[in-house]
Amino acid sequence: MRAFWTKFIVVTALFALLAVAAAPPVSVVRAADSTAALPSYKLTDLIAVEVKSVLNERVATGTRIGVVVRLTNQSTKVTRVPSYEFRARTSEGIDYTLKPSATNAASIQPKEKVELSYMIVVSREEAFSLAKLIWVEVNNNVYPKVEQAKLTVPIAGAEWRGSNSSFSDKSLVKEWGQSFTLPSLSSILKFTPISAVKQNTLKGPAVLVVFQVENTAFRKTFLPNLLIEGKSANKSFAGQWVGAGDKAIEPGEKQRLYFTIMTDSLSSLNSVTLLTTESFSTAQTPANAVVAYNVGLASVKLPASLNANLTAGAYALGNPISFNQLNRMIPTELSVSLVELNRFKSVSGGFDTIVAKFKLMNKSLTPVLLPLFGTQLKSSDGSEYEGASKASSERLLPPNLGYVVSYAFTVPQGGSDEGWTLNLFDNQTAAPLQIPIAALRVKAGEGASADAAEAGAAAEAGDAVEAGEPVYPYTLGFSKWKLPSLTAPVLEIETEVSHLDNVIVDAEFSRLKFELLDANDNVVAVEYVPYSGAIPLKTGTLSLTVSGLKSTASIQHVRILEAIDTAYGEAARLLVQL
């Protein structure tokens, strides 16, 4: 009798080992490819399973294995999750039994999908690879226990090894500009990388990466939460999505996703990886019992040049600016055109200022919010100069009216006026980084119709000199001037002023500056006249009370300039000298 039971136990143990080692063939419900949904496998007659993510990551205590699977109840009744053991098998044939998360669902509603999380930390120093996931039914009611593998799924090449790692599955590595899906999150959202820009910020170098995402289905869906990681030759940099997940996206709709990655001055990014966050709970109350980790979804190779400049096209002053596909700041009902680009001289010396004036025209029948876009001038040698505007708050522009906004660029003295590129940016969507939305080839000095220097050279004492100079949206003419009294500080000057209709200027616009000069061209007194001030600027005799002028006897000339205040002091350009 003892011999019989000994033989029975041996045979039973052999069958149990064979059942686990030789798992049944995988039953695939639907095929998978790099752009479709995840492969689905039959776990039971009623439940299908997908492998969402696999982690194989080195941690301080060893190696962490984390797996998230998605179960679908294909029946019309509530179905319990089978109580199978869940194991990960290495390429060398070693099995590790993973623990289920404390928050895993115990049952699945009809047609519902649920995600189950599993994890184990193995105190093992050497690296290893995972090859398979196995669901094992264990019968503990017999001795020895009987194990039967119910499903085996191959996962070779699908594991993520943590930050600064790469995909061994090359189908998960995308070329720049290539459209792709992220099947583990959504098979109906198509992602396309469209822009990568390297910029300098107050916190250091940064890269802005923009993806376009499109809902290719006929139903509403939501954007998943995503993370991004930039990778150089030997270093990785965590980035962030400027925005939030769980945003609705309608059928056929396209949206932009903006990611910022702070880098260092010594590193050059060559790829970015999109990631998602998974979690595992060790207790039902997850106050301090949740382990969160990131898993890579796809890697995208960056273009060779991360240059903020777009291809700058030739531009004719006054024409509407064409904005690129990244533009989400300038509404279609608002026309933006560059109307002036002139070089100003610093009053205190040491630098020049190039002033760009833009006209913003509301072409609609309702008020439009005026955007405060960013600007940059780039010289032919690659030097970049940021523009600053006095406009400090957004405002509404009434229908069929234009508004003039000025940007000042502080540049070195005596530079060339040729070969400039003017870049426009959306400086709000991904702040503090800027999104390039237009680039124009321009030259300074555009907008002037009369040579003020020639007018000044022709002026002689006692002669009347007429000169006209556009200061958009004005055209100004100045001729005779006089000082009616030797003691009263009053200047009278004949002016001719024309103003374009339906264009608004305000207190943030530049000012007219009147300098009274002696015979040696020394400035004796100065007076400012704002365009929208208390003294109306119109055709006729302009009478000014010049503060600080004690006597008019020494005054020989009057110099008229356009002046603007900058962060580094006043800058002015000569209009005419009489």
pLDDT tens, residue by residue, 403-416: 888 899 998 887 77
Which residue from 193, 187, 190, 197 is spatially nearest to 174, judged by alpha carbons?
A: 193
* The pLDDT value given to residue 29: 42
The reply to whether 422 falls in a domain is yes
Q: Which of 10-19, 114-123, 305-314, 521-530 has the highest mean pLDDT?
A: 114-123
pTM metric for this prediction: 0.76
Q: Are 336 and 254 found together in one domain?
A: no
**What average pLDDT does the structure give for the chain?**
82
Give yes or no for residue 2 having a pLDDT over 80: no
Which pLDDT tens digit goes with each residue over 196-242?
Answer: 988 888 888 899 999 999 999 999 999 888 999 999 988 999 999 88
- pLDDT value at 528 more than 90: no
Instruction: Mark whether 231 and 128 lie in a shared domain.
Output: no
| CATH number where 572 lies | 2.60.40
- Residue 293: predicted pLDDT: 94
**Residue 534 pLDDT:** 61
pLDDT at residue number 122: 95
The beta strand positions in 36-94, using DSSP E, are: 40-42, 47-59, 62-73, 79-80, 85-90
Question: Quick one: tokens of 527?
Answer: 């007076």
Q: How far apart are CA 77 and CA 58, in angstroms?
A: 41
Same domain, 395 and 321: yes
In a domain, 397, yes or no: yes
Q: What is the pLDDT of residue 81?
A: 95
pLDDT of residue 284: 64
Task: Specify if 64 maps to a domain.
Answer: yes
CA atoms within 13 A on the CB side of 436: 24
Confidence at residue 19, expressed as pLDDT on a 0 to 100 scale: 42
pLDDT at 133 (0 to 100): 97
Length in residues, the chain: 578
Using alpha carbons, list the distances in angstroms from residue 267 to 236, 301, 333: 9, 15, 42
Q: Is the peptide bond before 473 cis (omega within 30 degrees of 0)?
A: yes
Residue 409 belongs to a domain: yes
| 18, pLDDT greater than 70 | no
Q: In what order do the strands lie in the sheet with 313-314?
A: 313-314, 435-442, 420-426, 374-378, 384-386
- Residues 146, 54, single domain; the answer is yes
Residue 164 within a domain: no
Residue 57 binned pLDDT confidence (cut-offs 50, 70, 90): very high
Checking if the pLDDT of 483 tops 90, the result is no
pLDDT at 449: 36
Strand partners, 375: 424
Q: How confident is the model at residue 399 (pLDDT cuts 50, 70, 90)?
A: very high
Q: Is residue 118 part of a domain?
A: yes
Give the chain's domain count.
Answer: 4
Q: Let me know if residue 7 belongs to a domain.
A: no
d(CA 442, CA 172) in angstroms, rounded, equals 43
**454 pLDDT more than 50:** no
- The answer to whether residues 231 and 320 belong to one domain is no
Task: Walk across the sheet containing 474-482 and list its strands.
Answer: 467-471, 474-482, 490-499, 540-545
Looking at the structure, do residues 285 and 317 belong to the same domain, yes or no? no
pLDDT (tens digit per residue) in 286-335: 666 889 999 999 999 999 877 655 677 888 888 999 988 888 889 989 99
Opening angle at CA 194, ends 188 and 198, nearest 5: 135
- Residue 66's closest CA among 134, 129, 121, 128? 121
Question: Which CATH number fits the domain that encloses residue 275?
Answer: 2.60.40.1240
Which of 121, 154, 187 terminates a domain? The answer is: 154
Give the burial class of 314: count Cβ atoms within 10 A of its Cβ; 0-12 exposed, 13-18 middle, 19 or more buried. Answer: exposed
Same domain, 199 and 276: yes
Q: Which of 296-305, 380-389, 443-452 has the lowest mean pLDDT?
A: 443-452
Positive or negative, the CA dihedral 526, 529, 534, 540 is positive
Percent of the chain predicted with pLDDT > 70? 85
First to last CA, the chain: 130
Residue 282 above 50 pLDDT? Answer: yes
| Residue pointed to by tokens 């047609």 | 111
Query: Final residue of a domain: which of 301, 322, 345?
Result: 301
The confidence score (pLDDT) of residue 358 equals 93
Both 484 and 378 in a single domain?
no
Structure-derived torsion over alpha carbons of residues 540, 541, 545, 546, reported in degrees to the nearest 10: 100
Strongest mean pLDDT among 131-135, 353-357, 449-453: 131-135
Q: Are residues 18 and 149 in the same domain?
A: yes
The pLDDT assigned to 163 comes to 86
Residues 337 and 462 in one domain: no
pLDDT at 304: 83
Q: How many helices and strands, by DSSP H and E, does the chain display?
A: 2, 42
* Residues contacting 188, CB < 8 A, separation 6+: 181, 215, 216, 217, 219, 221
The DSSP 8-state label assigned to residue 98 in this structure reads E
If asked whether residues 572 and 475 sit together in one domain, one would say yes
In terms of Cβ atoms closer than 10 Å to its own Cβ (0-12, 13-18, 19+), residue 423 is buried
Residue 465 pLDDT class (50, 70, 90 cuts): very low
- What one-character DSSP code corresponds to residue 371? P
Show the domain range for 124: 13-154
CB 563 within 8 A of CB 570: yes
List phi, psi (to 5°) of 399: -60, 145
The answer to whether residues 493 and 541 touch, using CB atoms and an 8 Å cutoff, is yes
Q: Which residues contact 94 (CB under 8 A, 6 or more apart)?
A: 128
Domain assignment present for residue 161? The answer is no
- Surface-to-core class of residue 174, CB atoms within 10 Å of its CB (0-12 exposed, 13-18 middle, 19+ buried): buried
82 by DSSP, 3-state: which?
Answer: coil
Q: 20 with 146, same domain?
A: yes
Q: Which of 249, 269, 301 is the last residue of a domain?
A: 301
| pLDDT tens digits, one per residue of 91-131 | 999 999 999 999 999 999 999 999 999 999 999 988 999 99
Look at residue 521 in the predicted model and tell me its pLDDT: 77
Q: What is the pLDDT of residues 29-38, one digit of tens each?
A: 433 333 457 8
Predicted pLDDT at 247: 84
Comparing C-alpha atoms, which of 565, 453, 441, 461 is closest to residue 517? 461
Summarised one tens digit per residue, pLDDT across range 137-191 is 998 888 888 889 999 999 998 999 988 888 888 889 999 999 999 999 988 999 9
553 pLDDT higher than 70: no
Opening angle at CA 312, ends 310 and 313, nearest 5: 140
